[in-house]
Structure formats: C-alpha cells, structure tokens
Structure 1
C-alpha cells in the first residue's frame, strides 16, 4: 500500500471513530431503523438526480447496499439503542475484519493460510471474553447484535470488491459509494413503520426543529458528510485497489479512536476484562487479515519495480479480482498499474 493510501486509511480511521459519537447523539433523538433510513435518504435523493450510476452489475451494488447499508446499521443502531456502549460498539463492530477474510476466501477465492485461521480463532476468543464480561454486568443481546452488524459490513465489503472485479479500474469509487446509499432508505423506512410505528420517526424529526434539537441535525450532518460520503468513499477506493486482507486491518484502529472519544466526551469507562478482550480481538483480527498479504507464496519479479511492496499488492489484487470474476461468471478485467 502506498504512503498516500496509508494516510487515506488513517483519515478513515479518525472519521469512523468519531462517527460513533454522532450515532450516539442521533439515537437520543430518533428510533434506530428510522435514523438509519434517514442518514441514507439524505444522500440518495441528490444522488438519483445528479450522480450517474456507475457501470457495475446491480447484483453487486445491491449486495454492497444490503450488507454495508442495511444489515450493518440496522443491527448496530438497534444494539446501541438497547444499551451497547458507544466505545465498545466501535470495537465489536470490527468483527467485520475476520468476517471479511472468511468471506473473501469463500466467495473471492482468496487464499486462506493456517495463521489466518489461528488469528480468527483468537479474535473469536476475545469476543468470548467481552461476552463473558457483558453477561455478568449487562444484557448480552446488544453485543450479539453488534457482531451481526460486523457480519453485514463484511458482506458489504465483498459486494464492493465484486463490483470492482467485474467493472474493472474505470469505476469511480465515490460514485459506487453514493449509489450504495440508494439501496437502504426504503427498506429501512419500511422496517421502521412496521416495528417503530408509522409516524414515530417523522414526529421525532419534526420535534427536533427546536433549540434543543440541533444536536440531532449536527449528528446527522456529520454521519452523512464525513462518516458516509468521505469515510465510506475512501474505504471503497481502498477496497477496490487492494486485496481485502490488506485493507481490513485498517479498521482495527477505529476502536482506539472510538473508545478514547467515548471516554473523553461520554465518560464511558470500559471494564478491565473488556479491555483485555479488546486487545485479544485486535491482535487476532490483525493476524487474520495482515497474514493474507503474503499468502500463496511469491513469484520472482520481472524487474526491480515489480519487487516493491506496492507492486506486489497490486499483483495480489489483480489475481483476487480475476478469481472473483471467474467464480461468479464475470469477465475478468485488467488491473491498472
């Protein structure tokens, strides 16, 4: 990965870490399904009018939108509304990293090594430690919902990778992210109407136009502009350029920002056992994802330039994209170097 792309990855880490504070504020004003639909509806309306649809198959765009937009945030917002601590949510959601590795091996034919399986096992053990701690101090359901949110995120990662594999390097990552936002609003509003009441969310939206309601709109603006458009756009760019096992470890730094911000602004103090579990999860997930960069052996480079880490990772991405295309009946595209 180039130094510029590493900096872009760190920017995503900060944006997404602080995003959990904005989610916390928004959920104090809106029910979870309605809030999830609202955050994407604000993006989807102008996108449908002004942004051309990227030339990617609808099935991968829908997989991206359902996984990243619907499943992730339906589970995450519900978990946080039911009492999942903000900082701990930012950690547990990173279950998406080992999930992405497993799904990449299953659907994209990315090679999976023994050390990656060991890392996944360690990460699951860390989740078990956190679950044990939660079971003794609070309800376990919010934790399980957050883990399911991480699984949804992983499916979204696979959808964006498959879209890039079939469409080639010409697809605009920002356009892909923006059009992903078109998928969640109607299903989320329908879920809200069925489970939260047909008028509850809209009534809360109207009542937020007050002196005391401005934090709800500030939170919504942050989530839409910085958390979704900027953060997800950069993430989609990185996922389209590098193998899933290369990009996924970056998300493991999000909890550092999320837990620190929650401690500073919300006065959330995690238990010692939860912190131990957090370290275990991050160590295991990092092992599971970072180890994939060198899986499958090496090939002698044709030149000095081909021997650089950046060139090696571009070659790896090209192989996995072609494998994904063949696995799903798509025509493989050349990778731009």
Structure 2
C-alpha cells in the first residue's frame, strides 16, 4: 500500500482499539442488541439522505450489513456482556485476520505472498502468546462469541473485497439499514419486552456518549476508510494492519483503567508488530529486474541515442 493508505490503516486501528473500552464503558444496564440498535440507527440516519447509494446490488449491501455489522457487533456486544474483558476482546477478535486471508484464498483466489504468509503467522503467534498470558478466567461462552464475531467480520471483509466498490462511506451507511430491525427483533426475543423497556430507561448520557463515538469514529470514519482500502488493495495487504488493534486496546486499558500488561502480553504485542511490518513491507524487486530498469533509464537518458 502507499504511505498515505498505510497511515489511514494505522489510524483506523487506533480508533478501533479504543472502541472496545468505549463500548464496555457505555453498555451499562443496556442489553447488548438494543445498544447495537442505537449504534446503527445513528450510522444510517440521517446519512442515507445525503450519501448516494453505492453501485452494488442490495444483496451485497445486505450481506455486508448482516455479517460485518449485525453479526460481528451483535456477537461482540454479547461477549462483552457475558464477561469478556475489553482488552482481551480486542485481541481475540483479530482471529478475523486469519479467517479473512483463508477465506479470500478459498473464494477469491487471492494467494498471500510468502512475506504476507509469514507476517500473518507471526501475528497469529503474537496473539497466542498474549492469550496464554491472560490466563483462563474468561467465560467459555464469551470466548466463543468473540471468535464467532471474528468469523462474521471476516466474511464481511471478503464480501466487500469481492464487490470492489470504492465508496467506503456509502457502503458503511447503506449497509447499516439492514441492522436495526433484526437487532431489535433479536433483542425482544432474547431479553423480552421488559428487558428492552428497562434498557431504554437505562440509556443515559454515558450510553449516548459511547454511541456517538461508535457511530462517528468507529463506524462512519473507521469502516469507511477500511472498506475503501479493501476495495483498492488485496485483502492480505490491508487486514494485517488490524493487528495493531489489540495493542492499542491493551495500551489504552493500561493508561485509562490501570490494567498493567503482563510480560506475555508485552512480548506478544512486539511479535504482532513484527508480523505487521513483515506483512506490509513492499516486496523487493529481483536483481535482474532492477538491472534492467537501470539499463532502460540509461538508454533513454539525454545523449544516449
């Protein structure tokens, strides 16, 4: 990727890393799926009246909305409510990187380069080191929900990449219209009318501030950039940047909540950063190609004819 797009990808990772803490902070007393309804109503309205619909089918928009938005965040919010710590959620959710690269290779024929494969392997190793250092105090249900959220995100990544639409903001906005109704229906089915009513009563300034962050920064800004990068670059070049997300989330948890990273977390974070650098490093041209380029430039220089 270009330097500009690499900086954009890094900025998205920072926004999303902090997002886990913001969600957990705001979702107090509000059922997870109801909280999701507020988020995606805010993403879709009033933006759909000002943002032109992307040149893709409604089926593609529905697939993105139901996987990257409803599936990923419905499961993630449920995991946080079930006891998944925000910092660890940011870590486990990055299993989407492996899922995305594998699904892209299987469905789109995008074979990762040797460097990209090694980078993803290093990043995965870093994730495992950090996970091993966190201990086994996380509820199994919360862990499974987070892994399923990662898989749902990966499916959405592949759908966006396959559609090749470059309008990241419009995809984010218009796919959001498929989220609130099924999310509300699931909230009513799981939490009941009384649970939803109690959640509405508990929705105060803290929940509103959290929703504003997730709507404006995490969704409208973050996913608009991320989707546009997926449309312009191969999946294996874009997705590994998200390896920065758990590093940011754990650093933010340390700075804001006093959660000091364990030794394994610090080591794993360094391994993940190395994996990212290996993955996104531009490949070197073969020696013969470099020599040929020099010869061509010499033959076309002034006075060479």
TM-score exceeds 0.5: yes
Runs (5+) with no aligned partner, structure 2: 294-305
SS at match of 2:42: helix
In structure 1, the partner of 2:89 is 89
1:110-154 deviations in whole A, cap 9, x for unaligned? Answer: 014566556655655555555555563342332232222121111
In the alignment, the residues of structure 2 paired with residue 196 and residue 275 of structure 1 have an alpha-carbon distance, to the nearest angstrom, of 39
Residue 290 of structure 1 and its aligned partner are, at CA, apart by: 4.2
In the alignment, the residues of structure 2 paired with residue 250 and residue 111 of structure 1 have an alpha-carbon distance, to the nearest angstrom, of 18
Structure 1 vs Structure 2 CA RMSD: 3.0
Do 2:30 and 2:202's aligned partners in 1 also have CA atoms closer than 8 Å? no
In structure 2, the partner of 1:217 is 208
Distance 1:113 1:52, change over 3 A: closer
Correspondence 1:121-140 to 2 at 5 A = 128-129=128-129, 136-140=136-140
Distance 1:114 1:207, change over 3 A: closer
Residue 23 of structure 1 and its aligned partner are, at CA, apart by: 0.6
Task: State the aligned residue count.
Answer: 291
In structure 2, the partner of 1:182 is 177
Do 2:123 and 2:274's aligned partners in 1 also have CA atoms closer than 8 Å? yes
Do 2:168 and 2:223's aligned partners in 1 also have CA atoms closer than 8 Å? no
Distance 1:147 1:281, change over 3 A: farther
In structure 1, the partner of 2:247 is 256
1:239-264 deviations in whole A, cap 9, x for unaligned? Answer: 11111111112111122221111112
In structure 1, the partner of 2:231 is 240
In the alignment, the residues of structure 1 paired with residue 287 and residue 59 of structure 2 have an alpha-carbon distance, to the nearest angstrom, of 33
Distance 1:199 1:177, change over 3 A: same
In structure 2, the partner of 1:201 is 196
Residue 10 of structure 1 and its aligned partner are, at CA, apart by: 2.3
In structure 2, the partner of 1:315 is none
Distance 1:24 1:106, change over 3 A: same
Do 1:29 and 1:216's aligned partners in 2 also have CA atoms closer than 8 Å? no
Higher radius of gyration, 1 or 2: 2
In structure 1, the partner of 2:156 is 156
Say whether residues 1:2 and 2:41 are aligned partners.
Answer: no
1:92-119 deviations in whole A, cap 9, x for unaligned? Answer: 2111112211111011110145665566
Distance 1:143 1:227, change over 3 A: same
Say whether residues 1:226 and 2:182 are aligned partners.
Answer: no
Residue 270 of structure 1 and its aligned partner are, at CA, apart by: 4.1
Say whether residues 1:268 and 2:225 are aligned partners.
Answer: no
Question: What TM-score does the superposition give when structure 2 sets the normalisation length?
Answer: 0.82
In structure 1, the partner of 2:70 is 70
In the alignment, the residues of structure 2 paired with residue 6 and residue 262 of structure 1 have an alpha-carbon distance, to the nearest angstrom, of 25
Correspondence 1:265-304 to 2 at 5 A = 265-279=256-270, 289-290=279-280
Do 2:120 and 2:240's aligned partners in 1 also have CA atoms closer than 8 Å? no
Runs (5+) with no aligned partner, structure 1: 305-337
In the alignment, the residues of structure 2 paired with residue 114 and residue 242 of structure 1 have an alpha-carbon distance, to the nearest angstrom, of 17
Distance 1:114 1:7, change over 3 A: closer
SS at match of 2:136: helix
In the alignment, the residues of structure 2 paired with residue 13 and residue 127 of structure 1 have an alpha-carbon distance, to the nearest angstrom, of 16
